[in-house]
């Protein structure tokens, strides 16, 4: 091997080694970094016109067609945080029996997504044994041989906070309109220790939410 070719091969090996050691940032996110905060508002709502609010004392748990109410320590932490930040924005907390102008409900949503993967061309055309070389002893699972179709399911947890307009319900045909929604997606959402900081993120994104 001549000297220039040797330097080329050596440099290539160094680059390959560096690439192999490089961390994939998406695989090294903390729970906090993985979270997505989404807020929506009713464009015509005048949030300064409302004075009082009430928060449901239980959290709705929605898992497919199954809906139930619960109030464990994590649920109570989110309820308390929601009350706290509403009051910091100038709204007055009152019992449900006192006819609040705003009603707030927290929901845990567990969503199951189903997908289909067709292995027909992937294994046969893309990852033949010649790619790996002899002696590696690697191969796909039994269900992959000869191609075929596989199903997969992903369960994702989300937390939703909904604000409804009770004050103007009579003028809207007794319909409760959702005028604000905050949605949290990501890892480690249902955690009592981070309920306050997660709720704060939603309010930080909603500066218009003020008495």
pLDDT per residue over 61-82, tens digit each?
Answer: 988 778 889 999 999 999 999 9
The reported pLDDT for the residue numbered 176 is 86
- Please indicate, yes or no, if residue 185 is contained in any of the structural domains: yes
Is the confidence at residue 201, as pLDDT, over 80?
yes
Question: What is the C-alpha separation between 171 and 193, in angstroms, rounded?
Answer: 41
Q: Among 6-15, 24-33, 87-96, which stretch is predicted with the lowest mean pLDDT?
A: 6-15
Interacting residues of 86 by C-beta distance below 8 A, sequence separation 6+: 53, 55, 93, 104
What DSSP letter does each residue of 8-70 carry, written as one string? HHHHHHHHHHHHHH---GGGS--HHHH-EEEEEE-TT--GGG--EEEE-SSEEEEETTEEEEE
Is the confidence at residue 187, as pLDDT, over 90?
no
Residues 67 and 60 sit within 8 Å (Cβ to Cβ): yes
Helical (H) or strand (E) element with 137: none
Residues 159 and 109 sit within 8 Å (Cβ to Cβ): yes
Sign of CA dihedral 89, 92, 95, 96: negative
Q: Among 16-20, 67-71, 141-145, which stretch is predicted with the lowest mean pLDDT?
A: 141-145
- Please indicate, yes or no, if residue 141 is contained in any of the structural domains: no
- Please indicate, yes or no, if residue 3 is contained in any of the structural domains: no
- Please indicate, yes or no, if residue 4 is contained in any of the structural domains: no
Residue 187, SS3? Answer: coil
Is the confidence at residue 142, as pLDDT, over 80?
no
Q: What is the widest separation between alpha-carbon atoms in the chain?
A: 89
Residue 109, SS3? Answer: strand
Burial per residue of 97-120, b for 16 or more beta-carbon CB atoms within 10 angstroms, e otherwise: eeebbbbbbbbbbeeeeeeeeebe
How many domains are there within the chain? 1
- Please indicate, yes or no, if residue 24 is contained in any of the structural domains: no
Is the confidence at residue 170, as pLDDT, over 80?
yes
- Please indicate, yes or no, if residue 11 is contained in any of the structural domains: no
Question: What is the C-alpha separation between 65 and 208, in angstroms, rounded?
Answer: 34
- Please indicate, yes or no, if residue 18 is contained in any of the structural domains: no
Question: What is the C-alpha separation between 154 and 117, in angstroms, rounded?
Answer: 13
For the chain, percent of residues with pLDDT exceeding 70: 65
Structural domain boundaries enclosing 102 = 36-121+149-211
93 by Cβ neighbours in 10 Å (0-12 / 13-18 / 19+) ranks as: middle
- Please indicate, yes or no, if residue 12 is contained in any of the structural domains: no
CATH number at residue 51: 3.30.160.670
Is the confidence at residue 131, as pLDDT, over 60?
no
């Amino acid at each position: 091997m001549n000297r220039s070719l040797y330097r080329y091969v050596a440099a290539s090996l160094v680059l390959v080694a560096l690439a192999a050691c490089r961390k994939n940032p998406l695989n090294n996110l903390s729970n906090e970094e993985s979270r997505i905060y989404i807020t929506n508002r009713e464009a015509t709502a005048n949030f300064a016109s409302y004075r009082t609010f009430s928060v449901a004392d239980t959290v709705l748990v929605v898992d497919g067609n199954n809906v139930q109410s619960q109030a464990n320590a994590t649920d109570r932490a989110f309820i308390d945080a929601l009350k706290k930040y509403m009051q910091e924005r100038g709204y007055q907390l009152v019992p449900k029996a006192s006819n609040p102008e705003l009603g707030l409900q927290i929901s845990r949503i567990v969503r199951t997504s189903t997908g289909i993967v067709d292995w027909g061309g992937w294994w046969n055309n893309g990852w033949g044994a010649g790619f790996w070389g002899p002696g590696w002893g690697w191969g796909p699972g039994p269900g992959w041989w000869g191609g075929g179709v596989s199903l997969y399911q992903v369960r994702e947890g989300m937390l939703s906070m909904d604000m409804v307009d009770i004050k103007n319900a009579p003028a809207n045909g007794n319909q409760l309109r959702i005028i604000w929604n905050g949605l949290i997606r990501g890892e480690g959402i249902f955690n009592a220790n981070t309920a306050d900081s997660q709720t704060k993120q939603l309010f930080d994104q909603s500066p218009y939410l003020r008495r």
